Structure 1
């Protein structure tokens, strides 16, 4: 941290907070004294007015500090006051169900956040917008027109083409030297799929014959992952909004850079497409049909026959869809591959299932997914043990509530811990061990990646839950199945096992997974 930032934290923050919040602080105290027969969840003693902000800033990443404190105090629900905000983390599935299922209507809003505001175009989208009319409008658009079974089927061929391109890209890397960076492969597969679905193109420019990304796609995927890493990342100005602009923790610069990358790459495509559709010379009356999700967003009409969405709404929603699709499948598959490489018996079981269900004379297809229970069990176990983020996207209490015998004040931020649920020893036997078989209940029961009982989180549930679980499942299973079917994988020379340590800053592998790959199918099956 720079000396300037250190001085700002030491001198400016407490003074500004006290000046800005003292009246609100005493008002809150008076409210808390009225009819509060239930206590707040346990938590560290907050400083006057600024709460636990100093500890949050000293103990980065804040998510690990929060979970470590809860573990030391042996509590599955807690309360961390940061400024005037009660942050309520939860690690118990029963309590999580109370928040996200039984009392879901009370906790269906989102926090005000510098990054969320920037990436959602000022809360014009679905996932990041607080509860209100705009959220209702965009939610209806997505559930009825974008993420529905008919649309999923309509987009099948685009997903199939990217599954083929995945095989082509890895096959070309097998020639020399044969080492494949699977983090790079998995992330760009997900980026390719969602760009194809939204923009009907893999490349922003000319592209490459070997199926790999160019610099534009590299920058695009990097921006998507940076944006996701900084979204709801305990930014100091999210709890003290009057500090927006000072960028005391460096988050604003990252968010600005990501936003500029999105605008540079997305806006020319969207502007041109809007012009084509809304110009009289190129309208539906000429028989043109939508080709991708961007076309669908542009051609939606209201009850008067006018465009339902503004260009600004279209751009914001397109960015949110691109962000939402890349991280969960790619992280799960990278971790699953790392785990099974260290335990060859698991990798052999996955190969045997694919060979039994599909064989070696054709490639895995989406129609095979219902029968690939062991592959899906590996995916479920990766979601359970190695979630993409410590917490789910925050929920905000719309009114006072009581959960698990604790008072949850209006405006509280509810953080359901993906790590806490998936690694809870009261729920899971040997919670830190990768055991795909724990998810297989018998040959007659199909394994699915969703988890309605919130024993772990693959795709979030409830009114603010993930509405694209079908797409997420398809991307995850096809990515993992194609990698395992298409290639024999091993550790690089002189490396005998993969280091399964987590990154300090997030929950990804500390080092990108690099493996040796050799084709295991007849050459004619590899796309060229």
Structure 2
């Protein structure tokens, strides 16, 4: 699903940001203003010629960083306030970065469909992120061009096509059995209480590990790998020097720590790569190994513009992208799904009745879910109300002279598509604030989540850079919800008697209070 390439939705914590910026503001600004004035002498005519979207005025050099730091709410919510002031397209100057934020279906369609090729690139990344992406050698971070096309074509046709996904049906069935048993064990040990996100994340990670490396791993090893991948994600969280590169000398400690985490990531995943190579040389030695893995498609991959196949470090990077892109996004969706089922037991009952009617007592599988109309409507409504991220992956103009909504979009600026105001636009949806799967049933509302036939909700983005894992993500979410409802009745926990649907930004947009639920076995 969504990747973790840089997005303006991932900003430093507001309170820490404000303390740090206040401490350095006076001495730093006195130096930087002089640099800016000198620079402006050379760029004055060029700047005047640009017709950028409106936006709040900011300070010299730091732009709007102070306003964001002083905001009393997270950035993903602060943006809504700015939309009310400046409209569906506006500019934020965040230090050295310029962000142009789009929040309407019309402008998203213009950018991603009508002018999809023009806005199909990615902006520059900071040095730390480049270390982890092998200088943008991933599907989601690569600039628009031959290298990106080679990587994406391989991921889609070699791994994420419908036919290829069906080959991993056994992997998902095995992971679901382990998942259900983990929930059962946790509930028995805690008087029925279960942490939803933690268990969902482990289940998804197990599936993706098998799909990626094609090896059978014990639970202890899986947990260790997961911990390493979490450290990678934490290391990739934006810092102030992402926005003010002149501050990088103050972050030398964090830069060294990033190198340590990168080395740990490589040391953890290269043995899995070697294990898979050995299996391919002698398939009979590991009967539990799957017949194909994503890694198989990468080992001899010919990438346009490159003379050799990816080396081990690049393989680590590409495999990490596959794991990180699909784990937290799917797990987050599952937590929101269970919260909605607890909030509205009638929806849960309808789902359970549909499952029983379709399969009886045998475990539901993904072929069954394709025919379950109410379940499919529930998942679509889930993605409408709770997209895994509030911003699609950052876009950038691939060529000079780009325009959007009549405004100039210079190369190098971050074009950010804000999703909630699209999927909750009252011009596009009736009762847009209500969670109601019924809206998609029998002559009701419709929406193509790919955006091909029109943009009303695009939780996976759309156009040329649409998330390649869309089909896989929907398959995993739908199957997991079906199995969880089939096996258990989900109820409110006494410690959380009034569910709150407040959210916060972590790797994805999660519930502000992690969901602790009560389960009752239906068996």
Contact 2:380 2:437 in 1 (8 A): yes
Q: Which residue of 1 aligns with 2:227?
A: 219
Is residue 272 of structure 2 the alignment partner of residue 269 of structure 1?
Answer: yes
Q: Which residue of 2 aligns with 1:514?
A: 516
Change (3 A) 1:189 1:254: farther
- RMSD of aligned C-alpha atoms? 3.4
Q: Which residue of 2 aligns with 1:298?
A: 299
Mapped to 2, the partners of 1:296 and 1:325 lie a distance apart of 18
Moved more, 401-410 or 476-485: 401-410
Mapped to 2, the partners of 1:193 and 1:243 lie a distance apart of 41
Q: In the TM superposition, what whole-angstrom CA distance separates every residue of 1:215-268 from its partner, at most 9, and x where no partner exists?
A: 51552463466467x2xx5x43233334335339x9768866754553342132
Change (3 A) 1:22 1:64: farther
Is residue 443 of structure 2 the alignment partner of residue 429 of structure 1?
Answer: no
SS at match of 1:104: coil
SS at match of 2:502: coil
Is residue 180 of structure 2 the alignment partner of residue 171 of structure 1?
Answer: no
Is residue 125 of structure 2 the alignment partner of residue 113 of structure 1?
Answer: yes
Mapped to 1, the partners of 2:413 and 2:494 lie a distance apart of 52
Out of 229, 244, 250, the position equivalent to 2:248 is: 244
Contact 1:392 1:417 in 2 (8 A): yes
Moved more, 25-34 or 471-480: 25-34
Contact 1:376 1:447 in 2 (8 A): no
Q: Which residue of 2 aligns with 1:81?
A: 93
Out of 197, 200, 210, the position equivalent to 1:196 is: 210
Q: Which residue of 2 aligns with 1:100?
A: 112
- How does the TM-score come out when normalised to structure 2? 0.84
- How does the TM-score come out when normalised to structure 1? 0.83
Q: Which residue of 1 aligns with 2:13?
A: none
Contact 2:53 2:407 in 1 (8 A): yes
Mapped to 2, the partners of 1:301 and 1:402 lie a distance apart of 35
Mapped to 2, the partners of 1:24 and 1:58 lie a distance apart of 28
Q: Which residue of 1 aligns with 2:63?
A: 51
Alignment of 1:352-501 (within 5 A): 352-359=353-360, 361-398=361-398, 399-442=400-443, 450-452=450-452, 453-493=454-494, 495-501=496-502
How far apart are 1:493 and its partner, in Å? Answer: 4.0
SS at match of 2:511: coil
Q: Which residue of 2 aligns with 1:525?
A: none
Mapped to 1, the partners of 2:276 and 2:407 lie a distance apart of 52
SS at match of 1:122: coil
How far apart are 1:461 and its partner, in Å? Answer: 1.4
SS at match of 1:246: helix
Q: In the TM superposition, what whole-angstrom CA distance separates every residue of 1:291-339 from its partner, at most 9, and x where no partner exists?
A: 3222332144689xx9622222211100111111112221112112101
Q: In the TM superposition, what whole-angstrom CA distance separates every residue of 1:341-372 from its partner, at most 9, and x where no partner exists?
A: 1111111111111122222x211111112212
SS at match of 1:314: helix
Contact 2:358 2:368 in 1 (8 A): yes
Q: Which residue of 1 aligns with 2:79?
A: 66
Aligned length: 496
SS at match of 2:476: helix
Contact 1:332 1:379 in 2 (8 A): no
How far apart are 1:283 and its partner, in Å? Answer: 10
How far apart are 1:29 and its partner, in Å? Answer: 3.3
Q: In the TM superposition, what whole-angstrom CA distance separates every residue of 1:136-167 from its partner, at most 9, and x where no partner exists?
A: 33223223323223322222221222122222
How far apart are 1:54 and its partner, in Å? Answer: 2.4
SS at match of 1:106: coil
Identify unmatched segments of 5+ residues in structure 2.
1-15
